[in-house]
Structure 1
Amino acid sequence: MLYNGTMISLENQEQITRELAMGHQARSMGLEARARVCARRAVGIALRAYFAPRSDSASLSVVDLIQTYQEQPELSPELRTICAHLLTRVNPDYQLPIPVDLLAEAKILIDSILENNKPS
């Protein structure tokens, strides 16, 4: 199945779409913390698909996957910043200390990850 021009299983495509939709639903209910979790999970699904042919990513956490992806030398500054935002810890009030839309940024990152995962 194609997602943004990239081969990805139908199950993974549905999981990404579902996570982003749940994130938007959570946000509409005022549950921004839950929206952030959904954004990270959606990115994690895309990163597992990206890293699957390259390594054993099944045992890595979403945080480990994002950190590994962020360290790639060819990654653009914009995508490094998005990774950093996804890795930012919340404050004691469970709020991000920076004003970002992680759902929107997750979509940008997912599209880029899957674009770079195109079969040759």
Structure 2
Amino acid sequence: MQKHRIYSMSFASVYPHYVAKAEKKGRKKAEVDDIICWLTGYDHQGLNAQIKNNTDFETFFAEAPQLNPARALIKGVVCGVRVEDVEEPLMREIRYLDKLIDELAKGKAMEKILRQ
């Protein structure tokens, strides 16, 4: 089975789109970073290193220090796909991230986004 093309895409090439989506709705880059760190376990320095190194999505998630166990609480639809129904593990992680950024852009409180 052929891998989805997003797996080999650089996380750094998509990251500015996450930030732009959030900022367009009045949210901050720091909130995007906090969400990514919460989901993956990267600290801000580690996240910046992954961006600087042009790490692809597959490696970005494979090297994540500690995927947050609460991510299983992320439910809903993003890009017409129900995230909890995505069977392929890496694609599910990417969809979790997409869903969290969508929630941020829709004005949801950080406490709710981070499932606290």
Report TM bin, short chain.
0.3 to 0.5
Structure possessing the higher radius of gyration over alpha carbons: 1
| TM-score relative to the length of structure 1 | 0.36
| TM-score relative to the length of structure 2 | 0.37
